[in-house]
Structure 1
Amino acid sequence: MLRNLGWGSTASYSYMKKQLYRVWTGLVVAFTLYVPVLFVQSLMWTIDISHADTLFTSLEVFFNAPAYTIKSTIMLLNRWRVDKAKDLLDVMSERCVTYEERVEVHKLATRCNYIIFVYHVIYFIPTSLNLAYAISTGIPPLNLYNPFVDWRDGTRSLWIASILEYFLQVFAIYATLALDATPLIFGLTVRAYIKWLHVRVERLRMQTDMTEDENYEELVLCIKDHKLILDYCENMHPLISRTMFVQYATVSLVLASTLIHLVSFADLISGITTAIYMTASLFQTFPFSYTCDLIVEDCENLALAIFHSHWMGSSRPYKSALVYFIHKVQQPIIFLGGGVFPICLNINIQVAKFAFSLMTFVQQMSIFENFEK
């Protein structure tokens, strides 16, 4: 997906293919920068802000427009980290030598593809429903500024304008989907390799045909595996941290606007679309927040597995290495959103609480009481 969006590596490309790919990357960047401008133009010139349903539908997407631009910029500046992460995964996978471990690696890849599919479904359903609802009401989905087609000229112009808006949203959603799914796939990958390391730790000094030196070498390999996992996390941390910080800020605003829309102004059809859109917005932060909590728990379980491994009667170098290993593992893998707060389920709950508080504040201020439903 990243390659299709112009964010992939060009190291293996020929000279001509590199130039063409750079042109494509430039077009994607230009589109990314223009999206917030387009929504501002639309709010100023074309969107009927006196109609509450139209206003809130536009606001829900508008809050995501600058977030899409910022997240795309973060990915573009840090795409080398993704390439480095792939190289680290290749090194980490070299330890998966048994048939069972290879099967687990393939299951992980399948699980990641399944996650991408789920994100596709969740993100594209509200967009498609909004298109159908807009066509039935006789206006484009978002009524974006379009200097080439005036949808008021007739049914044909309405369809052309609506389809153009739909494809614009599809491309933006495709890019947003890739950006939002990356942290979750990264988190599941970290959990999988910690789990496999856990299994190797439990096998330490369990094979009677291995000498003490061979057991020590196996322990050293486990320590190196843990170091590779830490390197993998440290490499991706800046990308994940900045992306999640933007997503937390965006989700709080989107949730507040969707709640106001859902409670006060939405009819049955737009209410269903808004509820699905709100669920899709939660997928920006909730799955990875929950995964981060599970990673901390996995680190604690790994430390317990090391302590309860069969180290009694081992050599002094083995025990010294084991103490060092426990000390390193007891420092849990924690990710910080923007380097400010830990990414965890509690923060996600706080964001939801903030959205409810913001909705209550706006309702008490009676800002939208004179808007048409």
Structure 2
Amino acid sequence: MAKEAFFKYIKPAPETQKVTSRDGCIYMYRLMKFIGWIPPKTGPIFLRGLYYFYSVLTYTLGVVYLPLGFALSYIKEFDNFTPDEFLTSLQVAINTFGGTVKCSITYINLWRLRKVEIILNELDKRIETDVARKKMHESISLSNYIFLIFTILYNGYAGSTFLSYLASGRPPWSLYNPLIDWHESLLNLVVQATFEYIVMTFAVIQHQLSDTYLVVFIILIRGHFNLLMDRVQNLRTDPSKTDEENYEDLVNCVKDHKKILECCKILRPMISGTIFVQFGLIGSVLGLTLINIFFFSNLWRGMACCLFVVAVLSETFPFCYNCNLLIDECQELGVRIFQSNWTDAPARYKSTLIQFMHHVQQPIMFIAGGIIPITMNSNITVAKFAFSIITIVKEMNLAEQFK
């Protein structure tokens, strides 16, 4: 029963069940609460204080200590690294430095997510038919399903790296730890590896949240946008409605479109910073990881690196793909407005429709750092840098020199 209750949110709810857009964020908010990002508003002062202490601890370990630990390990123990250990550490370190910025941006702007929720709740009230309710339930379940996949993928990388390196007698990420010398005994190695795994787990969860909130919300926004397109297509198709009622339906569609634009406007600064950081890192991180796989890793470490490659690609690909779909849907909305039943409508209706059609011609786009359009083309372009790094390594025979 507990298993069914946990996984029920990845399946579309029955049409008779009332579900809100917020249910599409339920796994995300649970994980935020687990990592210490959503403190309780009520309860005993002692427990609330304990939660705040836990929040500071997880944030300090995952966002402050982890990048600092990588940097100090390169300064203090660089001579002790083997090539594959150094690349495994460096590929994660670079991603961690960027992740620190992304997590900070996400945590500071959590209020934006709450504000968007309020608008989505207003859009939920516009869902009246079973067909529309079914479509929205599918969007809600899809957002939860994707978040669960991200959770498995990110934590799968951390777990596989921990086990593969511990089995080979090395700590997984070689973080600097002045309190323990893992070379002295097997117990010290296990303690060091376990400590690194705990720190990395905190960081992985925080990075996952900063990478997935935008995918979750754009799926929900696209769900409401598709319902808006259906409502536009059905304008003036009910013969029982008067001209005034038809005009009211059109005005409601205009209001829905404005609410969707408002959601995007609220999220835009948050998304811009997050994706800009990731675009700046993805090429170099992928390049180092692929070099590690091709030239230095054994089977098990290579599998862990492959999971890392998938995780890095997942940081941008799903959102960029959904951005492309949203741009296409904006164009489709304009077509549906033009093809709706307006030819014999009153002058006031036609005037409002023309204004509406004019406004929707501007597609909904997100810009990374105010410079790079967030699209699949941009994602592919920045990822290509990885192959440039591999080409340089092969041409200069750097892999053999490191060996």
TM-score of the superposed pair, with normalisation by structure 2: 0.87
TM-superposed CA distance for 1:21, in Å, is 4.6
Residues 1:76 and 1:69: Cα distance change in structure 2 (over 3 Å): same
Unpaired segments of 5 or more residues in structure 2? 1-30
Question: What is the correspondence of 1:293-372 to structure 2 with a 5 Å cutoff?
Answer: 293-372=324-403
- Matching residue within 257, 273, 279 for 2:310: 279
Q: What is the distance in 1 between the residues matched to 2:100 and 2:298?
A: 31
TM-superposed CA distance for 1:349, in Å, is 0.9
1:5–1:175 Cα contact (<8 Å) kept: yes
TM-superposed CA distance for 1:91, in Å, is 1.2
Name the structure 1 match of 2:186.
Answer: 155
* 1:111-138 Cα distance to aligned partner (Å, 9 max, x none): 1111111111211222222222112211
- More divergent stretch after superposition (313-322 vs 124-133): 124-133
TM-superposed CA distance for 1:110, in Å, is 1.6
Name the structure 1 match of 2:121.
Answer: 90
Q: What is the distance in 1 between the residues matched to 2:188 and 2:74?
A: 21
* 1:17-75 Cα distance to aligned partner (Å, 9 max, x none): 66555444433443312221111112222355651111111011111111121011111
Question: What is the correspondence of 1:41-120 to structure 2 with a 5 Å cutoff?
Answer: 41-46=72-77, 48=79, 50-120=81-151
Alignment pair present for 1:261 and 2:292: yes
Query: How many residue pairs were aligned?
Result: 371
Residues 1:357 and 1:188: Cα distance change in structure 2 (over 3 Å): same
**Which structure 1 residue ranges, 4+ long, deviate > 6 Å from structure 2?**
none
Q: What is the distance in 1 between the residues matched to 2:87 and 2:320?
A: 27
- More divergent stretch after superposition (358-367 vs 247-256): 358-367
**Which residue identity lines up with residue 42 of structure 2 in the other structure?**
Y
TM-superposed CA distance for 1:329, in Å, is 0.8
Q: What is the distance in 2 between the residues matched to 1:197 and 1:48?
A: 61
Name the structure 1 match of 2:60.
Answer: 30
**Which residue identity lines up with residue 77 of structure 1 in the other structure?**
I
**Which residue identity lines up with residue 5 of structure 1 in the other structure?**
I
**Which residue identity lines up with residue 270 of structure 2 in the other structure?**
L
- More divergent stretch after superposition (228-237 vs 242-251): 242-251
TM-superposed CA distance for 1:289, in Å, is 0.8
Name the structure 2 match of 1:124.
Answer: 155
2:139–2:220 Cα contact (<8 Å) kept: yes
Name the structure 2 match of 1:203.
Answer: 234
- Matching residue within 212, 215, 221 for 1:184: 215
TM-superposed CA distance for 1:368, in Å, is 4.5
* 1:132-160 Cα distance to aligned partner (Å, 9 max, x none): 21122111111212223322222222222
Alignment pair present for 1:8 and 2:38: yes
Residues 1:27 and 1:126: Cα distance change in structure 2 (over 3 Å): closer
TM-score of the superposed pair, with normalisation by structure 1: 0.94
- Matching residue within 179, 184, 203 for 1:172: 203
**Which residue identity lines up with residue 164 of structure 1 in the other structure?**
F
TM-superposed CA distance for 1:77, in Å, is 2.0
SS state at 1:318 partner: helix
Q: What is the distance in 1 between the residues matched to 2:222 and 2:140?
A: 13
Q: What is the distance in 2 between the residues matched to 1:116 and 1:50?
A: 35
1:46–1:144 Cα contact (<8 Å) kept: no
2:39–2:48 Cα contact (<8 Å) kept: no
Unpaired segments of 5 or more residues in structure 1? none
2:334–2:361 Cα contact (<8 Å) kept: yes
Residues 1:341 and 1:314: Cα distance change in structure 2 (over 3 Å): same
**Which residue identity lines up with residue 180 of structure 1 in the other structure?**
D
Residues 1:280 and 1:165: Cα distance change in structure 2 (over 3 Å): same
**Which residue identity lines up with residue 35 of structure 2 in the other structure?**
L
2:140–2:220 Cα contact (<8 Å) kept: no
Residues 1:268 and 1:30: Cα distance change in structure 2 (over 3 Å): closer
